[in-house]
Each structure stands twice: as structure tokens, then as C-alpha cells.
Amino acid sequence: MQGHIWHILTGEEVCKGLHVDPEKGLSDKEINRRLLEFGHNTLAVKKGVNPVFLFLGQFKDFMVMVLMIATLISGLLGEIADAVTILAIILINSVLGFIQEYKAERSMEALRTLAAPEATVLRNGDITKIPASELVPGDIVMVEAGDRIPADLRWLKAINIRVEESALTGESQPVAKTDQALEDEYLPIADRKNMGYMGTVVVNGRGIGVVVATGMATEMGIIAGMIQEVKDEETPLQRRLAQLGKYLVALCLAVCLVVVITGLLQGESFTKMFFTGVSLAVAAIPEGLPAIVTVALAIGVQRMVKRNAIIRKLPAVETLGCATVICSDKTGTLTQNEMTVRRIYCDGQIITVSGQGYDPKGDYHGADPYNDKGVLRELLKCAALCNNAVLTKRGLRVPGLFRGRSQDKVWSIDGDPTEGALLVAAAKAGLWREGLERKEQRIAEIPFTSERKMMSVIYKGKQGYKAYIKGAPDVILPLCTQELTAQGVVDLTAERRKQILFINDEMANHALRVLALAVKNVSPGEQNGQVEKNLIFVGLMGMIDPPRPSAIKAIKVCQAAGIKPVMITGDHKLTAQAIARELGILKGRNQLVVTGPELDRMTDEDLEKCVMDISVFARVAPRDKLRIVRALKKKGQIVAMTGDGVNDAPAVKEADIGVAMGQTGTDVTKEASAMIIADDNFATIVAAVEEGRGIYDNIRKFIRYLLSCNLGEVLTMFLGTLVGLPLPLLPIQILWVNLVTDGLPAMALGVDGTEPDIMKRSPREPNENVFARGLGRKILIRGSMIGVGTLLVFVLGLWYGVGLLAARTMAFTTLVFSQLFHVFDCKSEQRGIFEVGLFSNPFLVLAVMVSTLMQLSVIYLPFMQNIFKTTALVGWQWLLILAVAGGPTIIIGFLRLLRKNLRRKKHLALARR
């Protein structure tokens, strides 16, 4: 009784294998026995982490422990404000981390809500309703339109039944079901037409099925198990910060120890050197790093909200910024999820139709339907009348976060998407069913069924009774004996039949779903069986779910940014291939399209070898998506996975960054994701990538600034004590520098704007060291310049005989202003101060002005002079300080501008040649 063989057995064989009489159902005794054997029909949830332990676990992080030590030291030094600030940073980070992890634990709870609360079953010969959780394999279940299927079923009777399975399989259309046995044992889930799956919804008809799997054994349960198996991993940012924190703490403590020992050897008191060493350690260790990172990420989140992206986990922005592959579902994400008629064939000519989605605005290329009184007009009239869909205009629904904004009304379809496409095509030509029905009234309908594959309606008008018929071309065409042409009704010859079938195949090869339309004049008493015979063929209409225009542009931007877009869909290969070519995902010859069955024949090793050559995966099952994501990750890729259905949830959670759709996404996928796209627009992901890259750039800017400054402070003290000078700075002055420079300027730098060329760069290596691309060299050079410059001013002050107090004040001020000038250098790694502009970040300018006023107050206010042991400075001293502090920034900026101009002239000279 293995799950993958139920669809190849007859209903009788399935019931026999499950030991159940389909006319009576199971007995109470057998039900109790099976409940003990198989358990309740519920999704098991892995025992969650206690919220208290989850919160306490936030304090195990290495940098958090460093912050706690810094808090203790600051308290011992009497710096209560500093201690309170650091403690606030610890608590904020811990609360944010706790909220993110607690939300992640709720994925399984959302999945459980998809289970049907009740089920109608046949037990002991009686029909009764029971809680769906009490279903067991072998139960006979009855469902009808509107019901959620309560367990995995094998249909015993399928009466016009169609099921919405997009959440599970990715199939964009409701699937017509059958109760007949199928032949292929290894059919993908989406093609098992005689099966019903837990959590999917019956949209039409009614049926009786026998339960073949319950709880965790269902396809939904298998997905639940996959979600539980996925382990949470640290983001690249978290790994790099942990590495950086450990390295810096060890280095700073070692240097501080050397400074203390050197001072003691030179005769300084133990108490003085101890507090100097502690102060230097507090200043040197970058305790502001987690705070700046949190602020930078939070600002990124605010920017993303304005661009229709909701970040559920702060590190997600940074992780998406280094994504190298984006795996996306086709339906509704890359496409509009709105079937649209693209081609029409009638009277021997092909007509193309333009326009987007359900908006009844568009053009017919090759015909004028407004002035056409012949075949095209009749075809569109047939499409409008042989139709039960309704075209409406309503407000766009978006998540609650965006309520209150004005929303334009959009056209939408109530009913079958295929019928909606036909209705819109007719409306584009001015043919609205409501208008047509003022002249003709529907008096009968022969509904569509999966067996008949056609639908007919009969209308009564001034000219009498007329039938309008639509259906699959291979069904409709054999029923036609005549064809409508511009010259009138003519016989349908064998040659014409071949031509029509050829056109049908051509449309199908372009991934169009093709319907044939026909008409017939009927008599009032004509029987249903006779209505659909001797039809008049009118034409073919081919439709497709078209790509989003914004997605086409977004994919170009992704490719320019070195990101590989991959389409993963449950749709057929031809459909996926055609859409991928239109989107620009498929371009070169070396790009492969692989189907689910082909994927099943591959081992994990085979998939890993070729996964980077595959751009489209079609007809895939949920476990296939998970395999794909894992194979890409094994190749060292940072994988972003977009999804909306339940089938996407395991892969979304497994991916480095999971992106859920806000409007069409299920709660399960949203809970498993790190980011939600409110407008379901693939282009919004590009904005997320840009923000992610910009935030990582800002974090690098901050690291460059902070570590250069800290290095300058350490070198000032280290070199001063090494050469036997008096202490260049007092402990309280070191702490003040730490407050003035590591506070507002650093915060403002962390929220700097993005570089203009940020989306023209290749993604950085996932395991890139935080000091990569010359950052470490820049920190060492500029830190040395700050340290040596500060010490130089201190020595010159002593040499000029201004006294130790004034010389120390000069060194103190030089150190502060060197860092305030350097913050403008850090705005860009490629461009100088004259290229980026002083005022491109007004927050930074304001922060530097505030810090400058704070430093001036320490120098010139008497009560501050007493606290910080400073004295007022005179003109020549300020000239010396500003020359040493600002000189490097101005010189570097000028040299970069000169180099840029020389490069531009060289390019112009080459262009003229």
C-alpha cells in the first residue's frame, strides 16, 4: 500500500487493498484499530523552544558578551551614561533577535490551518459528519464545490469535479478530476488526475473518494516534514561579524596589555595605567558595531516598506544583497496570473491581440473587430456568450500595512480564468455579454465536464435559437461539418481540417492554451445530444498567462548585476519554456530546461554537476524544489527563493533568503519566509537586492571608519608610551573621543545612500572576508595616519613649550577632528570627497556639526575644562590641528578627482580614434 501506486489502481482495487466496502464504509471497531495504527489526521509539530530559553539564548552571542563586559567596565569607571547606553543596545538586539526567531517557529502552526475542520464520511452504512482529525485510511469521504479536501483521496466517483491545487502543485488552472485508473506509475503529483490532496479546494462538481493517506503521510504532511527538517543557518553578515568581533577583541586586549606594561616599566603608577588600559580597551573594542548594523538594517527595512517589501527578519536584507541566484515560481510572480488571449485564427487568417491581463483595453492586429460584421465578430460573440465568468472592477487589496493609501481600481475576474480571458478578448472589441444579452436570452446550458471537454449554451433572439459552443479543438473539430467564412457558411473539407489542426499545433507549441469555438442554429425542441452535432466551425483562440512587463525589466537588471534568475514551476515544459524566453531567462544554447520526471532520474550528485546550467525547471513537485535549492547551495551559491503556494514553503525556508508573495501567498509560505513582497511583483525583489547591497556597503563604511579611528587611538597611546613620552591622552579623554566619534557620525554613516553603480557590480563572494577588496589596507593606512598625526601634534606642542596641559588638549582635539574629517572619506570606497559631495548625506553633516560643538564645549567651557583637563586653544594651534586632521582627506579627494579626469580624457581620446 505505497502512496505512489494508488493512481494506477482501479477504484475497486484501491478499496480491496484498504479492506473497505465502498457501499458501507468502515466499522467502528476497524476505525478505532486504524486510529491506533495510523494516528490522528493532523500535522505533527516539532516541539518548539521555550520562549524564555529562546530569549536567554540571545545573550550567548560573542559580541553581546563583549558588550556586557564593556558595560561592567564602564560602570566601574563611573561612566554610568556609557554603561546604560551599551546595556540598551544589548536589550534592543536581544529583543529583536527573540521576535525574529519566535516568528520562525510559527510556520507549522500556519500549515495546520489548511486542514479541513470537518469531513462528510460513510461509516457503518450511514453518512455522517466528523472532525477531519478523526479520518483514517479507508474512510469513504464525500466532497462538493467549496469543500477543502480533508486528507489524500483516490477518487471513486468524480462528477464534473475540478480542484484548485495551485497551493500544492503550482498548477495555475483548476484541475479536472477523473475516477479512472492511470497508467504511468511515476506521474508527477500535478498529473495524477484521479487523486485529491489534503488542503486543496474543490471549485466545481462533487465526488466520492477513499482516504489513502492521513496526517504526516499526506503530500501536505510530507511538506510539513520538510519544513521541520530545514535547519536555520547564520547569515553571511552574522558569520562575518562574529569573526570580526573575536579578532578585534583579542587584538585590542593584547595591545592594551602592552600599553599598561610599558607604562609601568616607565614608572607610571599602577592605578593610572590600569584605568588607562581599561579606557583604551573600551574605546578600541567596537561595541557600537551591533547597534550600527541594527540601525542600518532597520533603515533598510523602512526603505523597503516604501517599495512594497516587508522584511520579517532584519538580516534578510543583507543576505538578499549578496544573492547569486533567484529561484522564482512562474505563475503570478513572473507572470500576471491572468490568462490573456494572444492569438486568434478565423476565416483563414491569424490575428494577434495586445493588451495586459484583464484590462479590456487592447488592439487587434490584422483585423478591425469594431467594423467587422463577419467571422471575427461572430467568434468574439461566441466567446462572450458561451461563458459564465464575470468581469468586474474593484479596489486592489493589499496587506494591512498599506491600508489608508489610495488604491486604483483594477479589473478582475470572478470565475474560471480561461473563461475570463475569452470575456476580456470580446470586451476589447466592444462586445460585452451584458449588452449582448439585452438582445438574446440564455435558455439552456450544457456544462463543461472533464469527460466531454466542451461547453454549450443556447440563446433565443430575434433570429430564433442559436447554440454557442467552445471546447478542446480535438473534440470540437470532429463535430463540425461546416465553417463560417467571409463568403458565408461553407463545407468543412478534409484539407481545411488539416490546416486548422496545423494552426492549433503551432499555437500549442508557443505554449498557448487553445480553444475551438463553433455555432449552430437549433430548433426549440432539439435534444441535448443533437445540439452538439453538425456544428459550424468559427475559429480558434489561443491564450496564455503573460509575463509581467516589470519582471522582464527586473530580470535584465538581475543579469546585469550578475544574478542568475531560475524559473521553477509546476506548469508544463512548453509553457514554461515560452514564458522564460519572453522574460529573457532563456537566451543562450547552453541553458537547459529540465522537467520533474527528468529530475527524478538524476541523483543528487548529477543534479549538483549541472544545476548551474539549468535556467528552467518545469512540472516539478515540492520535494524537487527543495533538492534544487540544496544543490545550488552546495555549489556555493547564495539562493533566494520566491514562492506563494504551500508547495514552496520548504524551499523558501531552506533558501538563504525566502521571499513570499503578499497577495497570493499562503500563510505557511509567509511564515517560512524572511521577506514578503506586498505587490507580488518580481521587480520589487530587485529593489530588495539594491537595498541589501547598499546596506552591506554602509556596514563596510562604518567598519572602515570605526576601526581606522580605534586604530588611531590605540597607536597614539601605544607609540607615546613606547618612546617614553607622557601619556598623550587621559582615560576620560579617550572615553570622550569614543562617545563623540563613535556616536552620531557613525550612526549617520550607517544610513548613507547607495552608490550609483551598485547594480552593475557582480555579487560579492558569499564567504568574503569583511576586510576584502582593500578595506583592511585602507584601515591600516588611515589609522596609522590618525595615530601618527595626533602624536606629532602632541610632540610639537611640547617642543614649542606650551606645557603638558595645552599639548594634551591639542592632541585630544587633533584625534577628534581627524576622525570627523575621515568620516567623509568613508562615504565611498571608489570616489573621493569632491566626487560624492559634502551634502549628499545631510544627516552626516548635521552629526559632524553636533560633534564639533561638543568638542568645542570641552575645550572652552570652564566646568568642562575641569572635568576633561583641557585648556583653550589659540589661532596657530588650530591651524596646526586642522592641517594635520584635514590634510589627508583633502589631498586624497583631490588625487581621486584628478585620476578620474585623466581617465575620462583617455576614454575621450580613444573614442575619437
Q: State mean pLDDT over 562-586.
A: 87
Judged against a pLDDT cut of 70, whether residue 692 lies above it is answered with yes
Q: State mean pLDDT over 501-527.
A: 88
Judge contact between 343 and 655, C-beta under 8 A. Answer: no
Contacts of 279 (CB under 8 A, 6+ apart): 77, 731, 732, 734, 735
Query: What DSSP letter does each residue of 665-713 carry, written as one string?
Result: --HHHHHH-SEEETT--HHHHHHHHHHHHHHHHHHHHHHHHHHHHHHHH
The SS3 call for residue 464 is strand
Judge contact between 585 and 563, C-beta under 8 A. Answer: no
Lowest average pLDDT, out of 252-266, 299-313, 515-529, goes to 299-313
Q: Which three cell numbers stand for residue 880?
A: 596646526
Nearest C-alpha neighbor of 378 from the set 561, 541, 178: 541
Distance CA 566, CA 211 (A): 36
Lowest average pLDDT, out of 17-26, 109-118, 129-138, 764-773, goes to 109-118
Q: State mean pLDDT over 25-40.
A: 93
What is the sign, positive or negative, of the torsion defined by CA atoms of 458, 461, 466, 469?
negative
Q: E strands within 75-230?
A: 118-123, 126-131, 140-144, 152-164, 175-176, 195-196, 201-213
- Give the catalytic positions in this structure: 329
CA dist list (Å): 158 to 195, 418, 714 = 10, 21, 79
Burial (CB count <10 Å: 0-12, 13-18, 19+), residue 716: buried
Judge contact between 783 and 712, C-beta under 8 A. Answer: yes
Contacts of 437 (CB under 8 A, 6+ apart): 385
Which band of pLDDT confidence, cut at 50, 70 and 90, is reported for residue 881?
A: very high
Q: Are strands 513-522 and 464-471 parallel, antiparallel or unpaired?
A: antiparallel
Q: State mean pLDDT over 11-26.
A: 93
pLDDT at 403: 34
Nearest C-alpha neighbor of 566 from the set 605, 602, 618: 618
Judge contact between 567 and 330, C-beta under 8 A. Answer: yes
Judged against a pLDDT cut of 70, whether residue 705 lies above it is answered with yes
Q: State mean pLDDT over 340-354.
A: 90
pLDDT at 397: 38
Nearest C-alpha neighbor of 290 from the set 750, 599, 878: 750
pLDDT at 19: 93
> Tell me: the pLDDT tens digits for 612-633?
999 999 888 767 888 999 999 9
Q: Which three cell numbers stand for residue 509?
A: 507549441
Highest mean pLDDT among 399-403, 634-638, 725-729: 634-638
Which band of pLDDT confidence, cut at 50, 70 and 90, is reported for residue 70?
A: low
Q: Which three cell numbers stand for residue 905?
A: 580624457
Distance CA 686, CA 553 (A): 10
Q: State mean pLDDT over 740-754.
A: 77
* Averaged confidence pLDDT in the chain: 82
Distance CA 857, CA 860 (A): 5
Phi-psi region of 61 (alpha: psi -120 to 50; beta: other; left: phi over 0): beta
Lowest average pLDDT, out of 137-151, 189-203, 223-237, 693-707, goes to 223-237
Distance CA 17, CA 137 (A): 11
Distance CA 237, CA 789 (A): 33
Neighbouring C-beta atoms of residue 430, cutoff 10 Å:
12
Which band of pLDDT confidence, cut at 50, 70 and 90, is reported for residue 702?
A: confident
Q: Give the position of cell 454549450.
A: 456
pTM: 0.68
pLDDT at 745: 85
What is the sign, positive or negative, of the torsion defined by CA atoms of 860, 862, 868, 869?
positive
> Tell me: the pLDDT tens digits for 649-672?
788 888 888 888 877 776 667 777
> Tell me: the pLDDT tens digits for 817-875?
999 999 998 988 877 788 887 788 888 999 999 999 999 999 999 988 988 889 999 99
Lowest average pLDDT, out of 107-111, 278-282, 678-682, goes to 107-111
Higher-pLDDT residue of 404, 580? 580
pLDDT at 398: 35
Q: Are strands 675-677 and 464-471 parallel, antiparallel or unpaired?
A: unpaired
pLDDT at 872: 95
Q: Give the position of cell 507580488.
A: 680
Which band of pLDDT confidence, cut at 50, 70 and 90, is reported for residue 480?
A: very high
Kindly state the helix (H) or strand (E) to which residue 539 belongs, with its residue range. Answer: strand 535-544
pLDDT at 48: 55
Neighbouring C-beta atoms of residue 527, cutoff 10 Å:
8
**Which percentage of the chain shows pLDDT scores above 90?**
34
Judged against a pLDDT cut of 60, whether residue 286 lies above it is answered with yes
Lowest average pLDDT, out of 20-34, 221-235, 311-325, goes to 221-235
Contacts of 527 (CB under 8 A, 6+ apart): none
> Tell me: the pLDDT tens digits for 75-103?
776 666 556 656 765 676 567 556 645 55
Q: Which three cell numbers stand for residue 425?
A: 478578448
What is the sign, positive or negative, of the torsion defined by CA atoms of 65, 71, 72, 77?
positive
Q: How many residues does the chain have?
A: 913
pLDDT at 138: 95
Contacts of 438 (CB under 8 A, 6+ apart): none
> Which of 815-836 are b and which e, b meaning 16 or more Cβ less than 10 Å from the residue's Cβ?
bbbbbbbbbbbbbbeebbbeeb
3-state secondary structure 391-430: EEEEECCCCHHHCCCCCCEEEEEECCHHHHHHHHHHHHCC
CA dist list (Å): 60 to 57, 68, 104, 624, 891 = 6, 11, 19, 36, 45
CA dist list (Å): 407 to 394, 398, 402, 403, 413 = 10, 9, 10, 9, 18
pLDDT at 395: 46
Beta bridge partners of 513: 543
Distance CA 282, CA 620 (A): 55
Judged against a pLDDT cut of 60, whether residue 723 lies above it is answered with yes
Question: What is the maximum alpha-carbon separation in the chain?
Answer: 121
Judged against a pLDDT cut of 50, whether residue 109 lies above it is answered with no
What are the φ/ψ torsions at residue 327 (nearest 5 degrees)? -95, 125
Judge contact between 280 and 734, C-beta under 8 A. Answer: yes
Lowest average pLDDT, out of 76-85, 264-273, 772-781, 842-851, goes to 76-85
What are the φ/ψ torsions at residue 279 (nearest 5 degrees)? -60, -45
Judged against a pLDDT cut of 80, whether residue 73 lies above it is answered with no
CA dist list (Å): 891 to 115, 618, 833, 836 = 68, 58, 10, 15
Q: Which three cell numbers stand for residue 114?
A: 489548511
Kindly calculate the radius of gyration of the chain based on its CA atoms and give it in whole angstroms.
36
Lowest average pLDDT, out of 6-20, 349-363, 625-639, 806-820, goes to 349-363
Distance CA 569, CA 625 (A): 9
Judged against a pLDDT cut of 80, whether residue 283 lies above it is answered with no
